[in-house]
Structure 1
Amino acid sequence: MGFDFTVTARTAQWRDRIGEFLRDQVIPAEQQAFAAGVDDALRLRLQAAARQAGVFAPQVAEDLGGGGFAFDDVAVLLEEAGTSLLGPLALGCAAPDEGNVHLLDRIASPEQRDRYLRPLAAGQVRSCFAMTEPPPGAGSDPSALRTRARRVDGGWRVDGVKHLITGAEGAAFAILMAAGGRPDGQGSTMFLVDTDTPGWQLGAHARTIDATMVGGHCEVRVDDLFVPDEQVLGEPGEGFRYAQVRLAPARLTHCMRWLGAARRAHEIATDRAVTRELFGSPLADLGMAQQMIADNEIDLHAARALLWQTSWEIAQGNRGTESSSRTKVFVSEAVGRVVDRAVQLCGGLGTSDDLVVGRIYADVRAFRIYDGSSETHRMSIAKRAARRARDRRTG
């Protein structure tokens, strides 16, 4: 068995160009963006610059105007993009659009590709993914969907309430998940909904600790919303199956981006540790600081190794359901530890936006919850392990 972690020449070239682009054009925009807020005007300006630099949308297929990289190569490039909180936005690889592009590329009809996928992949519009609901509706348990779809002449009527819908304000369309769709009323269905459709009602923004997401995290009410048959994504009743097409890769692309952010926080902290003197010596020479630096190095390298392995499995055509759960739990918790230690190493300034570390700390915390909480993934991993143990005993 051979293991080859060699980065191809083309991938290395793109990685280096992305790094240069971020240093020259994106990182200088961070402080103003933190102060004024991240909006579509900034997104469009940065994405135009990324196209000019030849680094836009590395994860998107070439026929859609992207880099056309395989998923294991994408792991390298999206980590680099994540070294600025504005990097994924600039490169067109930020959530939720990145995951929606992947899903539409796999599922959409030819007409839907032209109407929704192509403008989204090109960064001409934004989108959102409307699945999460207020309790007792769908959250970590998608099967708890309370938004319902019912058949009517020429299409469907949908009613329900969604919340924490990322990027909803200003999105041109949504991928809306609703229960129902099969003849017996079971299953779930995905709908492509233009957000100017009557019955789509944008509500309040949740006041969350993260602050670098265009369009916020919003409540959406769906009130007697009519969706024509041609805007059903895939087959009615198969929404849960299609969600897996999106969710496993999207978990991993989150891991890629946040690994880059954690690496940036660690580099800022270590730069500070070798230049700041305390008690007569550089901070980096003090034992407790050295332990934090070493533990960060270990967490970063272990997270990257696991992420690359799982990304390779996806690139080989594996569904990656269980391996992506393992990776999501480990990476989300490892990057949280790395950034937390970086804050500690930076002292008081580490809690501020001035060193960027504080902003990363606030933004990364939610990663242990969205795309499946750590607890939900652990439950799934444990159930699979127990099933294998039972099979061994009965086999």
Structure 2
Amino acid sequence: MDFTISPRIEDFRRRIADFVDDRILPLESDPQAYDAHENIDLAHLTVLRDQARAQGLWCLQLSPEYGGQGLGRVGMAVCYEEMNRSVFGPAVFNAAAPDDGNMMVIEALGTDEQKDWFLRPVAEGRVRSAFVMTEPDPGAGSDPGMTQTTATREGGDYVIHGRKWFITGAEGAAHFILLARTSDDPGRGLTCFLFHRDQPGWSILRRIPIMGPEEHGGHCELAFDGLRISARNVVLAEGRGMKVVQTRLGTARLTHCMRWLGLAKRCMEIAAEYAARREGFGIRLADRESVQIVMGGLAADIEIGRLLVMKAAWELDQGSFAQKEVSMAKIHVANLLHRAADAAIQINGARGYSKDTVAEWIYRYARQARLVDGADEVHKMILSRSLAAEGRDFWRWDVAPERAS
């Protein structure tokens, strides 16, 4: 593949970088810019979102029809990495989970009616959304096939019963995508639905406290006790829930990696800045071989992560599910982010452990990376199964067709 990017993508990358430098990074040192859950305060977010929209940096992942720029997955990889140089960045550009993945899957698979009432308000930033899949034991986690929540057909409606938890963004979301079981068919037993928060028959039981800073709306436990959803709000078709999940999660997992690379690079900046000026026992930290080894190793690992992400993004742009490529990127980048945050704290010493930098914020946030959208072990299992099925072809090169002479 060609590793050059188009001038158009570079223009977006450069303008995003300038916006992050000039408008977002200064807020990180202002305690008033944070909400009670350590994300950007909504008042500050609203101002920044208006500025990003005015500069044409809004919702780059969607087509122009829905207010985006149609960058494709390769362009997103470049720009999302730049956005998440700040811990506040993705939300400012309407590129944060779970809205990001929800918008892309409805744009790809939704009906015109679903796009109008569900997608447009999220794309315009008027409402937030959530993806409702994960359940308490023994229900669905990394394996959607374990879904226990049921959807029973009654005339023109489906009636939902069950429980979900760790639903990101549920508190404050207006639009929801729900995965439920419509039959015991192992291949076609799951269906995805759209519903609005004002519909009766469901409730948020609690916002689950977590270790790290939270996305807007937290991670919530939901109960469904007779929610009625019209058949016209089925996504794709009854029994095609796994197709919807695969379409959404493949790209969503990779966009996590794109953003995490930006955070990993930020950790390197925090470490490098301090190491360059801090002296001890007559020598700068940056001149110590032990620090150089850490920094050099992380620099290489970040570049490996960027290559894995770009390969997966390119595959997605070619129409592939890129399951192997996404899993490899997810494993590597999730672990890389944790190591980078740990190194930034260690090199900064007590300053790194304090809130004088965002290294400790990133460190707490990073631990979830090895769990969300499939734990490390699940993705390694996927790769092992692919290896068993493909043998040496697991590492094959795709060959371009010969050109006519």
TM-score by length of 2: 0.92
**Matched residue SS, 2:116:** helix
Counterpart Cα distance in 2 of 1:47 and 1:239: 33
Pairwise CA distance, 1:210: 2.1
Aligned pairs (5 A) from 1:312-391: 312-389=314-391
After superposition, the CA RMSD in angstroms is 1.8
C-alpha offsets along residues 302-350 of structure 1, whole Å, 9 cap, x if unaligned? Answer: 1111111111111111111121111111111122212211111111111
Pairwise CA distance, 1:391: 9.9
Pairwise CA distance, 1:56: 1.2
Residue pair 2:274, 2:348 contacting (<8 A) in 1 also = yes
**Matched residue SS, 1:218:** strand
Report the CA distance shift for 1:166/1:301 in structure 2 as closer, same or farther (over 3 A). Answer: same
Pairwise CA distance, 1:354: 1.8
Residue pair 2:188, 2:241 contacting (<8 A) in 1 also = no
**Matched residue SS, 1:163:** strand
Pairwise CA distance, 1:34: 3.7
Report the equivalent of 1:14: 12
**Matched residue SS, 1:106:** helix
Percentage of identical aligned residues: 39
Runs of 4+ residues deviating >4 angstroms: 181-186
Report the equivalent of 2:302: 300
Report the CA distance shift for 1:183/1:42 in structure 2 as closer, same or farther (over 3 A). Answer: same
Number of corresponding residues? 390
Aligned pairs (5 A) from 1:1-395: 3-31=1-29, 32=31, 33-34=33-34, 36=36, 37-38=38-39, 39-180=41-182, 187-389=189-391
Letter in 2 for 1:14: F
Residue pair 1:299, 1:338 contacting (<8 A) in 2 also = no
Report the CA distance shift for 1:60/1:290 in structure 2 as closer, same or farther (over 3 A). Answer: same
Counterpart Cα distance in 2 of 1:307 and 1:185: 30
C-alpha offsets along residues 213-270 of structure 1, whole Å, 9 cap, x if unaligned? Answer: 1000011111111001111111011101110001111111000001001101111111
The runs of 5 or more residues in structure 1 that have no matched partner are none
- After the TM superposition, which of the residue ranges 227-236 and 329-338 deviates more from structure 2? 329-338
C-alpha offsets along residues 147-170 of structure 1, whole Å, 9 cap, x if unaligned? Answer: 011100111001011111000011
Residue pair 2:188, 2:240 contacting (<8 A) in 1 also = no
- After the TM superposition, which of the residue ranges 203-212 and 101-110 deviates more from structure 2? 203-212
- After the TM superposition, which of the residue ranges 204-213 and 374-383 deviates more from structure 2? 204-213
Report the CA distance shift for 1:316/1:186 in structure 2 as closer, same or farther (over 3 A). Answer: closer
Letter in 2 for 1:332: A
**Matched residue SS, 2:145:** helix
Residue pair 1:203, 1:221 contacting (<8 A) in 2 also = yes
- After the TM superposition, which of the residue ranges 352-361 and 73-82 deviates more from structure 2? 352-361
Pairwise CA distance, 1:101: 0.6
Residue pair 1:299, 1:335 contacting (<8 A) in 2 also = no
Counterpart Cα distance in 2 of 1:170 and 1:390: 49
Residue pair 1:34, 1:212 contacting (<8 A) in 2 also = no
Pairwise CA distance, 1:299: 0.9
Pairwise CA distance, 1:53: 2.6
Pairwise CA distance, 1:44: 2.4
**Matched residue SS, 1:125:** coil
Report the equivalent of 2:400: none
**Matched residue SS, 2:60:** coil
Residue pair 2:235, 2:244 contacting (<8 A) in 1 also = no
Report the equivalent of 2:399: none
Counterpart Cα distance in 2 of 1:361 and 1:314: 30
Residue pair 2:308, 2:325 contacting (<8 A) in 1 also = no
- After the TM superposition, which of the residue ranges 316-325 and 87-96 deviates more from structure 2? 316-325
C-alpha offsets along residues 76-131 of structure 1, whole Å, 9 cap, x if unaligned? Answer: 00000111111000000000000001100011101111001111111111000000
Residue pair 1:57, 1:91 contacting (<8 A) in 2 also = yes
